[in-house]
Structure 1
Amino acid sequence: MKLLFTIVSFCVIVVHGRVLWRQPAWNPRDIPGRNWGTVRWNWGRGSTIQVASNPSGNGPVLRAFYPQNSYIGNPNRSMRGGGSFKSRPIRPGTSRTLSYDIYFAPNFDFVRGGKIPGLWGGQGMCNGGAVDDRCFSTRFMWRGDGTGEIYFYSPTPQKPDFCSRPNIYCNFQYGHGLGRGAFRFQRGRWHKLQQFIKLNTPGKFDGIAKIFLDGRKVFQVNDLSFRSNSNVWIDTLWFDTAFGGQYNARSTRDTYAYFNNFELWDHSPIG
């Protein structure tokens, strides 16, 4: 009798990483919370940004209110809707994952687009059409049909074929769209949204951006330039949400988005 033995070879992938910071339970008397290390509130604290009940589950969550006709470019801050603050809960680094959950209300009209939280690093202004070689930013955006993207501000040059690639919208003045059309948000349900950013070596095109939606990688690019000098780090969680840009992107009705489970990692999700 012959015994046959089958040897099966397999590979185990180990990710050497850790969660550097995790958002604690929301406290309506202290928004966003002491352990966020918030360095600047721009608008919305206690008015259009509040702690509220989970629209689809248990426990409190952070709620952004967007009044009808609100948009980020409104000079009247009370009519910008949403809110904006910058926090530094961890030390600067060259690679980070930002992870959080987001829920768009069932009546949410995406109109022409709007901003939601992402990462930021450096000094100066990397938003609103300001070009500054001392910083970068990677907020997420929703677009008019509910599709999403990383709204990428960096003044540095990119590879010659950058503007001709699929799912990339190119605009060196007002910000690039990374992953545009590669994923779509749904109303009335929670999504887990994640971005992994690895800064480039100054002078090289070796920066990485990945987008994950509900645990699935939907976009990746491996040859970006985020910075031109080594003094720029990933150092800020930028909570920033509102409709627009401009007046033609304003909210068509009173509506809400909800946020929860913010985390910062020192590694990429698997995928």
Structure 2
Amino acid sequence: MHPAAILIHAALVAIILFCSLTLAQIPTRINIIINATPSATPPDKPLHWEVDSFPSSIAQLKEPLDLPTHTNVTINATSSASPPVEIFHWEVDSFPSSIAQLRKPLHLTSSLIPGKNPFDIVADPILKKSKGRVLRSLYPAHSYAYSGDEHAAFTAEPLPKEAFSGPKSRYIRLEYQMLFKPGFNWVLGGKLPGILLGSERGCNAGCSGGGSADNCFSTRMMWRPEGEGELYLYAAKSVYFPKEKAETCKRSLDKRSPKALFLLEQRAINPYRIPEDEDEFSIESSSSGIVKRAMSDDCLQGMGVKISPGARNLCNPAFGVSIGRGGSFKFKAGTWHNITQIVRLNSKGKAIRDGYLAVYLDNKPVIQAEGLVLLKNGYEPKSKTQDNIVKFKFSSFFGGHTAKYATPNAQWIAWKGFKMATSVNNIWK
């Protein structure tokens, strides 16, 4: 080999070794460039060369590496646009033997009490060979929203506060599996779990029951007659329904029951009074009397909403927005289903329309909506007044507020595979 080529090769090896020793001190990307132009006459140097130590600076490498004047060495270190961000995730793939032991693994805000909260834990009722237990929500005969029976409900805060303080805090992914009892009687519908961001106190009422939802949002689901599914969205109601009178009640110190608060709120809704039981229609007061009109999807215009063929959207100014009802979004009794929700919160600022929400049923998309306003003033991860902890809101019951929603007999739904993460990517597969 030509002596100059030997020197160049040795220099390249030495520099790569040097960079590997100091890589931890260089931000992200290293470019090593060696430009060599062999001279017509090779330099008169011995053919044996050895370097067993390096100086403190690459500027001092020329002499120990015996680099000829025609060799240029440059090292460029370039920082990445943003540092790596930790992805927080939570997963529950098995359950203890009693619901009294659920508080720690589910990160519940309060404990569940056997005999009071309508849950139990049993072997998988379908997959007989499965060794894992599943959680069941129980619905007594003749129960509905206001029958007086305890609802199958809990609130979990599975991710730490640090998960919602950085650039990834705008992204949330929720996943769970559910099984409707074989032969499940759908009646007129009922509630299913989703994501909640915001306080459960004050006028927002946990973003349910007709609350104003300007400073919180919830992405609960619903089943409807014949097993039709839908996203039951509460979010920034003054943005979607600007004609509705703003809510003025002050609940932060109100100790009254949820039903009393619900009735109080209904008196504040004007000019709309929309019974949830008539969710295909709005009832609007006017100078000529009460007018009943079929509800439309006007509140979602311009928001890039995509739903499955045959599905529909209904804008209810009092009780949330139904998105993607029906079509291929349909549940089957006696079959395990997988539900995945992906949410991107809208940016800080007044009604900035850059929120995103998608729903997958058994890994197939059934709803996609972009250009959403989920929080009226956007998400501020460092806010001291905004409740920034994203929650898993489990709330399931038949209803509807009238007895025509009641289940005629005792029924159950089984649950497993609870997961939540601050990433839109599927980190479990």
TM-score tier after normalising by the smaller chain length = 0.7 to 0.9
Contact in 1 for aligned 2:212/2:238 (Cα 8 Å): no
Shift of 1:36: 2.0
Q: More strand per residue: 1 or 2? A: 1
Structure 1 residue 86 corresponds to structure 2 residue 158:
no
From 280, 299, 305, give the equivalent of 1:162. 299
Q: What is the TM-score with the length of structure 2 in the denominator? A: 0.54
The one of the two structures with greater contact order (alpha-carbon pairs below 8 A, sep at least 6) is: 1
Q: Distance in 1 between matches of 2:112 and 2:189?
A: 20
Q: How does 1:171-186 map to 2 (within 5 A)?
A: 171-182=316-327, 183-186=329-332
The one of 225, 229, 247 equivalent to 1:148 is 229
CA distance, structure 1, for counterparts of residue 141 and residue 134 of structure 2: 22
1:248 and 2:390 correspond? no
1:63-98 deviation line (CA, Å, top 9, x unaligned): 011111111222x2xx24x51111101034322111
CA drift of 1:54 comes to 0.7
Equivalent residue in structure 2 for 1:55, among 125, 142, 154:
125
Instruction: Quote the residue 2:335 is aligned against.
Output: 189
Deviation per CA, 1:31-62, whole angstroms, max 9, x where unpaired? Answer: 43403221146998764211111111112100
1:21 aligns with 2:90: yes
Partners of 1:173 and 1:137 in 2: CA distance: 14
Contact 1:156/1:225, CA 8 A, preserved across alignment: no
Q: Which amino acid aligns with 2:145?
A: I
| Matching residue's letter, 2:180 | F
Deviates more, 1:62-71 or 1:16-25: 16-25
Letter in 2 for 1:259: W
Unmatched tracts of structure 2, length 5 or more: 1-84, 242-296, 306-310, 380-385
CA separation of 1:171/1:254 partners in 2, compared to 1, >3 Å: closer, same or farther?
same
The separation in 2 between residues aligned to 1:114 and 1:94, in whole angstroms, is 29
Count of aligned pairs: 251
Classify 1:220/1:31 alpha carbon distance in 2 versus 1 (closer, same or farther; 3 Å): farther
Aligned AA for 1:83? A
Q: Calculate percent identity across the aligned residue pairs.
A: 28
Q: Bigger radius of gyration, 1 or 2?
A: 2
**Matches of 1:200 and 1:100 in 2, distance apart?**
24
Change (3 A) 1:152 1:51: same
Answer yes or no: is the 8 Å Cα contact 1:43–1:85 preserved in 2: no
Match for 2:218 among 137, 144, 149?
Answer: 137
**Aligned equivalent of 2:178, options 93, 102, 111:** 102
Separation (CA, whole Å) in 1 of partners of 2:197 and 2:416: 22
Distance 2:115 2:312 in 1: 34
